[in-house]
Amino acid sequence: MKNKESKIKGITGKRKEELIEIITQKDATPVSEKKIDEKVESVVKVEMTALPTWYMIPEISPSDFMRSCNPIYSVLEEKNESKTSEDIFLKAALMGNESMTNEVWQSAEKARLKQKVLEMKMGDFHEELMGKFPEYETLPTGHATGCDVQKKDESVIIEVKNRNNTVKGSDGKHIIALLKKHKDAGKKAIFAQINCPDGKVNRFGAPIEIDIWNGQQVYAFLSGRESFFDDLQKTFQYVFANYKTFAELKLALGSS
């Protein structure tokens, strides 16, 4: 009889839930949940052993990492047109003060708008990536919790902001009040501020029981290792320096 592990060949890159469903359907004989978990783990191990040396975040599957990066590539590849209208007074001020030609202005404005959209996508990237850790999920906009990420058993809730200085005072207080309600309900409540000068977060007057963490701290909590944030940064930098399109990244990681 062939080893059952051979039945799951060719389905690497799937999420654990998808693998469980596939394995359950493929096996004609009953399989315990423990055995299914062992099979899923074996698939993940096979996937991870095939990773390139520059991929330094094995806690996240390559397919999940690619999905998290895709919206950023959409902006860089200009797949989504900006709907922002031209500010004729800003244009006049900059062209006059900097002695710009119209062509130089158009090029600078295009770069400015792209950066503005990318800054928003960076927050989305971290929300998506955090939801790819085992037992965690990214919550849709408008979710009843009012937050971005939670542990599937609802014991941990996380609100994510890309920078500590992009939240207005009133908005920050609203976030703290929301997290305090979750904390009072017995959950671990975290306000993640990914990019902070010198790692210093803005607490917005939060009580001590609310965890206000920078990127290093929240990723250490989710991954179980202090070096994850630095390794994520190195991996991220390598990807966008070497793979200029999403298609190129898929070729590099698609079979990993």
The first and second tokens of residue 26, run together, are 């493929």
Please say whether the beta carbons of 108 and 91 come within 8 A.
no
Give mean pLDDT, residues 79-106: 86
Give mean pLDDT, residues 223-234: 98
Is pLDDT above 50 for 139?
yes
Considering only residues 78 and 254, tell me which one the structure prediction assigns the higher pLDDT. Answer: 78
Considering only residues 13 and 4, tell me which one the structure prediction assigns the higher pLDDT. Answer: 13
Please say whether the beta carbons of 53 and 235 come within 8 A.
no
pLDDT confidence tier of residue 2, bands split at 50, 70 and 90: very low
pLDDT confidence tier of residue 26, bands split at 50, 70 and 90: very low
Mean pLDDT of the chain: 84
Considering only residues 166 and 125, tell me which one the structure prediction assigns the higher pLDDT. Answer: 125
Beta bridge pairs of residue 158: 149, 190
Is pLDDT above 80 for 146?
yes
Residue with tokens 């006059």: 96
- Cα dist. 16→135, 137, 143, 248, 250 in Å? 10, 12, 23, 25, 20
Res 255: pLDDT = 56
Give mean pLDDT, residues 10-22: 49
Res 42: pLDDT = 44
Distance (Å, whole) CA 31 – CA 40: 13
- Cα dist. 84→24, 96, 185 in Å? 49, 22, 42
Give mean pLDDT, residues 202-206: 93
Give mean pLDDT, residues 211-218: 97
pLDDT confidence tier of residue 104, bands split at 50, 70 and 90: very high
Give mean pLDDT, residues 32-36: 45
Is pLDDT above 50 for 218?
yes
Backbone φ, ψ for residue 160 (5° rounding) = -120, 130
